[in-house]
Amino acid sequence: MKTLILIMLISIRIFFQLEASAQDLPHFMTQEEQRIWESYSPPFISSEFTTPPPTPVRTMAEWEQVQGIIIAWTSYTSILRQIVDYAQDEGLVFIVCSDSNTVRNYLTSGGVPLINLKLIQTSFNSVWCRDYGPWAVYSGVADSLKMIDWIYNRPRPLDDNVSVVFSSYINTPLYQSIVSPNNLTATGGNFMVDGHGTGFSSKLILNENSGKTEAQINSIMNQYMGISRYIKMDNLPYDQIHHIDMHMKLLDEETLLVGEYPAGVADGPQIEANLQYILNNYLTCFGRPYKVIRIPMPPNSSGQYPPTANYYTYTNSVFINKTIIVPIYGLSKDTTALRIYRESLPGYRVVGINCSGMISALGAIHCITKEIGVAEPVFISHAKLLNTSNTVLPHQVNVFAKSRTGVAGASLYWRTDTTQSYSQVNMTLSQDTFRASIPPQASGKDIYYYVSASSNSGKTTTKPLTAPSGYIKFRVENPVINLSLKITPEGLLDTLNNRLYRRDSVMIYLRDSHAPFSLVDSAKGIIDSVSMTCLLTLSNALSGRYYIVVKHFQSLETWSRAGGDSLSANGLVYNYDFSSGSSQAYGNNLNLKGSSYCIISGDVNSDGIVDGSDLLMIDNDLYNYVTGRFVITDLNGDEYVDAADMQIADNNNGRESAFPIEN
């Protein structure tokens, strides 16, 4: 390994060729830096590893659990102090600095307690640690923590070596993509990742590695970062640095927060084109369309937009466990932006820091922070339940969980009222997936839930991380009446086996329970031969009191019990059993056969009465030896019209439908 003294001497000589001091270096390259960059070769402090990690890795997503964040103490110290104040509530704050006493004194003078701080004294050039800081990856899915370092796309040699110093400080192996053929120039502000192998960048990544093919760049990202799908969007015309964190952000695996300009303004047209490119060509890691949340790209106080105004953005925020820090500017859109974050991320503490004093340098909160994952994560992958019309079946929750020491167990917590406590369900493991179900819920219900997984070493993580105050929410919306009816046509009932001889169709009508008993809705169902039930959905009827009217093609029309029943259009299944007692039908108009009350067979001409005309039809078919399935005169379903059918009808001769009469 090269000695630090030698590298610092070389770096300082190059650094002092720049016109700007460390405190003044903007996010973009100065003119002098652009000149130096043409022939620049960074004098690296080489780490132990300049080859890719030996086993596949996964780059963590920003919303995963972190041990803390990195900041570099220079330039915008009043903003950095506020970041420290919020971030130390959630984890460690690693402060790269040249004088730790100066940092402590400044924090103390601003009333910021000195807790959860790790001060790392080393040389560096600028505040923009998002771009030059290390990336946290895990072996496999959630095994050992590793750091990844690229070549920084600025001629700032001290910045470029901060990753070496930091990885040594936390005693974590660092893998650098700095040696051919894996040398890659990149910047952290132009990369976001979903934690499942999908990465996003602008085509700056192609421009700055023009000596490599896109396939070679993809291969390096796969080997070092575990990126199996690398989405690249066209550069924007006015953002200058082409970092995507200036106009978009992943809020979770399936949600894109995207900045929005008024139509045709500034970078708006290209942002819209890039968004459509993603939506038209890619699905989330769970195979579903991305959810898109829009957030304004605000003008300055005079109503001007880039390129004649600063590049104000609200997407340049940072997660640190249960807090998200958002840049604000003292503009009218600030409150709108904070509201959008709070509505989109329930349970998070959403705080704003005024970045009007730094945005002219083309950066904000995300640009000057870098998250570092925990050493032993409990990784949870879950495709959140979406809004549904399902009111009948349980809502199954599937979770893939992984930990270095193994997963001891997982639990599901759910409720339908945020003022009530959660119900807990222990999840069962099957083929690497934990499963549990939320019971069916009525239409119009909101369901709030989260999942929790614990490792064998005793570490516990929730999804979302902010649970139980945060949650995943979905809505059940299915304003229909679902009926499960038990119906036994007399002729088809096999009393020996307590089932029907065949499945059969039936028409169901809903009629108002009061005169004139108007028809409200209808549906056709199939009576199962074993359960003797049929399930029907009536989508036109509102909640109310109705008669349930059964019309079977060989039987008397049968109305449900006197007064009707109160039915709710909430999607839940309403059970009604005609077979349980004679009073289940209006006028007790059922026949007892065995232990079941049956709708009365024999009205083959559907005139509401079993009489001679029905007997004549059966007799004619008997005489002509009529056979076949679903013959209307074959009352017992044996596929022959014979004396047995005649006997059923003859026994019911004179029976007629019973229904309420309008007074």
DSSP-assigned states of every residue in 235-278: PPSSSSS--GGGTEEEEETTEEEEEEPSTTSTTHHHHHHHHHHH
φ/ψ of 547, rounded to 5, equals: -90, 140
Distance CA 130, CA 553 (A): 74
CB neighbour list of residue 386: distance below 8 Å, 6 or more residues apart: 288, 474
405-444 exposure pattern, b = at least 16 Cβ within 10 A, e = fewer: eebbbbbbbbbeeeeeebeebebeeeeeebbbebebbebe
Report the CATH number at residue 601.
Answer: 2.60.40.4130
**One domain for residues 637 and 492:** yes
Last residue of a domain, one of 373, 393, 421: 373
Residues in the chain: 663
The predicted model scores a pTM of 0.81
DSSP-assigned states of every residue in 35-97: HHHTT--------SB-S--SS-EEEPPTTS-EEEEEEE-SS-HHHHHHHHHHHTTTSEEEEEE
Distance CA 257, CA 350 (A): 15
Asked if omega into 516 is within 30° of 0 (cis), the reply is yes
CB neighbour list of residue 64: distance below 8 Å, 6 or more residues apart: 195, 373, 377, 379, 465
* Of 201, 203, 160, nearest in space to 42 by CA: 160
Q: What pLDDT shows up at residue 508?
A: 95
**One domain for residues 165 and 21:** yes
Distance CA 182, CA 221 (A): 9
Q: Is residue 475 part of a domain?
A: no
Q: How far is CA 606 from CA 485, 603, 611, 623, in A?
A: 21, 5, 11, 22
**One domain for residues 118 and 139:** yes
Q: Is residue 476 part of a domain?
A: no
Coil, strand, or helix at residue 487?
coil
Alpha helices in 262-366 (DSSP H): 268-281, 334-344
Q: Is residue 657 part of a domain?
A: no
Distance CA 458, CA 384 (A): 25
Q: What pLDDT shows up at residue 18?
A: 39
DSSP-assigned states of every residue in 568-587: -SSSPEEEEEGGG-GGGBGG
Q: Is residue 78 part of a domain?
A: yes
**One domain for residues 69 and 89:** yes
Q: Is residue 15 part of a domain?
A: yes
Report the CATH number at residue 388.
Answer: 2.60.40.10
Q: What pLDDT shows up at residue 46?
A: 66
**One domain for residues 331 and 431:** no
Residues of the chain with confidence (pLDDT) below 50: 1-23
Q: Is residue 598 part of a domain?
A: yes
Q: Is residue 25 part of a domain?
A: yes
**One domain for residues 440 and 569:** no
Tokens of 541: 């009827």
Residues 513, 519, 524, 525: what is their CA dihedral angle, to the nearest 10 degrees? 0
**One domain for residues 17 and 103:** yes
642-651 exposure pattern, b = at least 16 Cβ within 10 A, e = fewer: beebbebbee
**One domain for residues 440 and 525:** no
Last residue of a domain, one of 394, 428, 461: 461
**One domain for residues 492 and 346:** no
Distance CA 512, CA 48 (A): 81
Q: Is residue 470 part of a domain?
A: no
SS3 content of the chain, % helix, strand, coil (to 5): 20, 30, 45
Q: What pLDDT shows up at residue 5?
A: 35
CB neighbour list of residue 49: distance below 8 Å, 6 or more residues apart: 173, 174, 175, 176
**One domain for residues 68 and 213:** yes
Burial label, 387 (beta-carbon count in 10 A; 0-12, 13-18, 19+): exposed
Is residue 185 within 8 A of residue 60, CB to CB? The reply is no
Q: How far is CA 513 from CA 145, 311, 549, 584, in A?
A: 68, 65, 11, 15
- The pLDDT tens digits for 248-306 are 999 999 999 999 999 999 999 999 999 999 999 999 999 999 999 999 999 999 999 99
**One domain for residues 329 and 231:** yes
Tokens of 421: 């406590």
End-to-end CA distance of the chain: 102
Q: How far is CA 97 from CA 101, 119, 136, 267, 381, in A?
A: 10, 7, 21, 36, 37
* Of 511, 520, 534, 499, nearest in space to 637 by CA: 499
φ/ψ of 79, rounded to 5, equals: -70, -40
**One domain for residues 396 and 512:** no
* Of 185, 145, 207, 606, nearest in space to 404 by CA: 145
- The pLDDT tens digits for 304-319 are 999 999 999 999 999 9
DSSP-assigned states of every residue in 558-624: EEBSTT-EEE-SSSPEEEEEGGG-GGGBGGG--EEETTEEEBPB--TT-SSB-SHHHHHHHHHHHHT
Sign of the torsion formed by the C-alpha atoms of 602, 608, 609 and 614: negative
CB neighbour list of residue 218: distance below 8 Å, 6 or more residues apart: 227, 230
- The number of distinct structural domains making up the chain is 3
Q: Where are the beta strands (DSSP E) in 339-498?
A: 349-354, 370-373, 378-381, 395-403, 407-415, 423-426, 428-430, 433-438, 445-455, 460-463, 472-476, 481-486, 493-494
Cα diameter, the chain: 115
Q: What pLDDT shows up at residue 42?
A: 80
Q: Which domain, by its residues, includes 31?
A: 4-373
Last residue of a domain, one of 342, 373, 404: 373
Q: Which residues pair with 372 in a beta bridge?
A: 68
Beta strand 504-512 with 519-527: parallel, antiparallel or unpaired? antiparallel
Report the CATH number at residue 173.
Answer: 3.75.10.10
